[in-house]
C-alpha cells in the first residue's frame, strides 16, 4: 500500500503542523517530509492562523494543549475561515472533555491519541487527503453537469439542493465512521451512541429508532439471563444495525418495506451484510458485526442465504430482529401505517416460529404485559439546568433537540459538566431536559 503524498495532478499536498513543543514538530517533519508533502509548522494557534492567511493548506494537525489558544479554539477559528482545510487533533486521553468540544465546535476529521503510531498517522493523513480530492472532483463534475443544463433552471435548483444534501450526509457519515474508529480506543460506548444519533439524522422518521431498539434488546436479553458480555455486544449491534443503510439510495428509505418491489427488497436486504463488512475490521466490534450480519434471517431458514436456521442463528441476532421489527412496525417503516404496540405485537406473534424465534417472542409478550418493555423502574426526576448539583447521577442521556449527544446516562455531574450545559443552553437558545436520580 503506497504511502506517498496523494494530490491531484501530482502537486504535493501542503501540511501544517501546530504544536508548542519543538520535539513534536521535528518528529512530524521527519515522518512526513520524505513522503513528498510540503511541510509548514507553527508553534502557537496565532502563528498558525497567520500562516493560513498567506498559504494554501490542505490539511492541518494541531495539538490540543497549547498556551494562550488551545487546539479546540484554534480549529474552530480555522473551520470558520478555511472550511476546506482538513482538521486533525492530537490529544492525550486526559483531554476527553476538550476533545468533545473540538469535535462539536471545530468539526475535526479525526483525533489521534498521543503517543501516535507512525503507520496509523501516515495512513490517516493519506486517507483524509484522498477523500478531500475525490470530494472536490465530485463537486467539479456536478457543477459541470449543472452548467450544461442551464435551460432546466427549475429542475437544476432542485437537483443542486439534492446533491448538496447528499454530499453533506456522506461527509457526516464518513467522518462519524472515522471518528468512531479512533474513539473506540478510549470512549468506546459513547462513540457508538453518538454514531447511532448521527446516522438517524439522515431520515427524520428514524430518529431515536436505534436507541429504542437497543433498550428493548437489553430488556429481552436480561429477561433471558444472557451474560453481560453478550448483552453489551447486542446493545452495540442494535445501535449500529442500520449502518449498512448509509449506502442505500433515498428511494429505498423513503418507502415502507411492504411497498418495495422484489428487486428493491433484494437490494435493501443486503444492508446487514454491508454493515458487517464495515464493522468487521474493528476488532472490538467483530461480535456485534456478526449479530448485525444475521439479524434479518428467518428462524425457519426460509430465504436465508447463509443456510442457518433456528438455534444456528446467533441468539443476539434473533433478539435484534424481533426488537427492530417491533419498533419499525410502530414507526410505519414496514407496513406504511404506524401500528399501536398491541398491533405490532400481534404481527410479531403471527410469525412466531417462522420469521421469529418463539422464545424471544414469548419474552417480548411477557414484557409488554407488564406496562410495556421500556418501563423505568428506577426513581428519577426531571430538572432544569439551574437545579443541577455536583454528584448527581444522570438516569437518561442528555440529548439536544437536533439529536446531538451531550452526556451519557450513568455520568456523574461535575462542575465542568454543569458549566457546559449552561453554556450550551445560552448559546443554542433551548432548554435541555435533564433526568437525575435525586433532587
Name the residue range of residue 45's domain. 8-140
In the predicted structure, residue 220 carries a pLDDT above the cut 60: yes
- Most confident segment among 8-22, 56-70, 88-102, 262-276: 56-70
Residue 218 sits in the same domain as residue 361: yes
Could you tell me if 67 and 105 lie in one domain? yes
CA distance 112 to 93: 10
SS3 427: helix
Q: CA quadruple 282, 284, 286, 291: dihedral positive or negative?
A: negative
> Could you give the number of structural domains in the chain?
3
Say if CB 237 and CB 316 are below 8 A apart.
Answer: yes
- Of 100-109, 122-131, 416-425, highest mean pLDDT: 122-131
* pLDDT score at 197: 61
Residue 190 belongs to some domain of the structure: no
> What confidence tier does 4 reach under pLDDT thresholds 50, 70, 90?
very low
pTM (global) more than 0.85: no
**3-class state of residue 103 by DSSP:** helix
Q: Clarify whether residues 327 and 393 are in a common domain.
A: no
355-357-360-364 Cα dihedral, nearest 10 degrees = 30
Q: How far is CA 129 from its chain centroid? A: 21
Q: Could you give phi then psi for residue 314, rounded to 5 degrees?
A: -55, 140
Question: Is the pLDDT confidence value at 42 over 90?
Answer: yes
- Cell 431536559 sits on residue: 433
Q: Do 19 and 116 reside in the same domain of the chain?
A: yes
Number of H helices, E strands in the chain: 16, 9
Instruction: Tell me whether strands 398-399 and 405-407 are parallel, antiparallel or unpaired.
Output: antiparallel
Whether residue 314 lies inside any domain: the answer is: yes
Look at residue 87 and tell me whether its pLDDT is greater than 60. Answer: yes
289 backbone dihedrals φ, ψ, rounded to 5°: -60, -40
Please report the beta strands in 33-109, taking only residues with DSSP state E, as ranges in sequence order. 38-42, 59-63, 86-91
Residue 210: pLDDT above 70?
yes
* Cα-based distances in Å from 413 to 71, 96, 371: 25, 15, 31
Which of 129-133, 264-268, 385-389 is the most confident on average?
A: 129-133
Alpha-carbon torsion (35, 41, 43, 44), positive or negative: negative
The reply to whether 292 and 219 lie within a common domain is yes
Q: Are residues 216 and 103 in the same domain?
A: no
Residues 359 and 229 in one domain: yes
Distance between CA atoms of residues 213 and 215, nearest Å: 5
What is the pLDDT of the chain when averaged over all its residues?
Answer: 80
Q: Give the pLDDT confidence score for residue 106 in this predicted structure.
A: 63
- In this predicted structure, the answer to whether residue 5 has a pLDDT above a threshold of 50 is no
Say yes or no: 341 and 288 in one domain.
yes
Residue 7: what are its φ and ψ, rounded to 5°? -155, 155
Domain contains 33: yes
256 and 401, same structural domain?
Answer: no
In angstroms, the CA 227 to CA 26 distance is 49
Do 321 and 394 lie in one domain? The reply is no
What band does 181 get if pLDDT is binned at 50, 70 and 90?
very low
Question: In angstroms, rounded to a whole number, what is the distance separating the alpha carbons of residues 435 and 439?
Answer: 10
Amino acid at each position: 500500500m503506497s504511502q506517498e503524498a496523494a494530490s491531484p495532478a501530482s502537486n504535493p499536498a501542503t501540511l501544517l503542523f501546530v504544536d508548542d513543543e519543538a520535539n513534536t514538530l521535528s518528529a512530524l517533519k521527519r515522518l512526513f517530509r520524505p513522503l513528498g508533502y510540503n511541510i509548514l509548522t507553527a508553534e502557537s494557534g496565532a502563528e498558525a492562523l497567520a500562516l493560513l492567511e498567506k498559504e494554501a493548506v490542505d490539511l492541518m494537525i494541531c495539538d490540543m494543549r497549547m498556551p494562550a489558544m488551545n487546539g479546540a479554539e484554534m480549529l474552530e477559528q480555522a473551520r470558520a475561515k478555511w472550511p476546506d482545510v482538513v482538521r486533525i487533533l492530537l490529544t492525550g486521553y486526559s483531554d476527553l472533555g476538550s476533545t468533545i468540544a473540538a469535535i462539536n465546535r471545530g468539526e475535526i476529521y479525526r483525533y489521534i491519541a498521543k503517543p501516535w503510531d507512525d503507520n496509523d498517522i501516515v495512513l490517516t493523513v493519506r486517507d483524509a487527503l484522498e477523500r478531500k480530492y475525490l470530494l472536490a472532483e465530485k463537486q467539479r463534475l456536478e457543477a459541470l453537469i449543472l452548467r450544461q443544463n442551464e435551460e432546466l433552471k427549475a429542475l437544476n435548483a432542485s437537483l443542486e439542493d439534492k446533491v448538496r444534501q447528499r454530499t453533506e450526509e456522506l461527509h457526516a457519515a464518513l467522518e462519524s465512521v472515522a471518528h468512531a474508529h479512533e474513539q473506540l480506543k478510549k470512549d468506546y460506548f459513547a462513540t457508538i451512541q453518538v454514531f447511532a444519533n448521527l446516522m438517524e439524522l439522515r431520515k427524520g422518521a428514524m430518529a431515536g429508532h436505534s436507541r429504542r431498539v437497543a433498550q428493548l434488546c437489553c430488556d429481552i436479553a436480561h429477561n433471558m439471563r444472557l451474560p453481560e458480555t453478550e448483552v453489551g455486544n447486542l446493545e452495540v449491534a442494535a445501535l449500529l444495525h442500520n449502518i449498512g443503510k448509509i449506502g442505500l439510495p433515498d428511494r429505498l428509505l423513503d418507502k415502507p418495506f411492504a411497498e418495495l418491489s422484489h428487486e428493491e427488497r433484494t437490494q435493501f436486504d443486503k444492508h446487514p451484510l454491508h454493515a458487517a463488512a464495515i464493522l468487521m475490521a474493528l476488532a472490538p466490534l467483530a461480535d456485534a458485526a456478526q449479530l448485525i450480519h444475521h439479524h434479518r434471517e428467518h428462524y425457519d431458514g426460509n430465504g436465508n442465504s447463509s443456510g442457518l436456521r433456528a438455534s444456528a442463528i446467533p441468539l443476539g441476532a434473533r433478539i435484534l430482529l424481533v426488537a427492530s421489527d417491533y419498533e419499525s412496525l410502530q414507526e410505519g417503516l414496514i407496513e406504511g401505517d404506524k401500528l399501536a404496540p398491541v398491533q405490532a405485537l400481534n404481527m410479531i406473534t403471527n410469525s412466531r416460529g417462522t420469521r421469529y424465534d418463539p422464545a424471544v417472542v414469548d419474552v417480548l409478550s411477557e414484557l409488554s404485559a407488564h406496562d410495556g418493555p421500556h418501563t423505568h423502574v428506577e426513581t428519577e426526576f426531571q430538572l432544569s439546568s439551574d437545579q443541577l448539583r455536583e454528584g448527581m447521577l444522570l438516569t437518561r442521556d442528555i440529548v439536544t433537540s437536533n439529536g446531538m449527544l451531550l452526556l451519557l446516562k450513568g455520568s456523574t455531574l461535575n462542575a465542568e459538566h454543569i458549566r457546559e450545559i449552561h453554556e450550551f443552553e445560552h448559546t443554542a437558545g433551548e432548554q435541555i431536559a435533564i433526568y437525575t436520580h435525586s433532587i
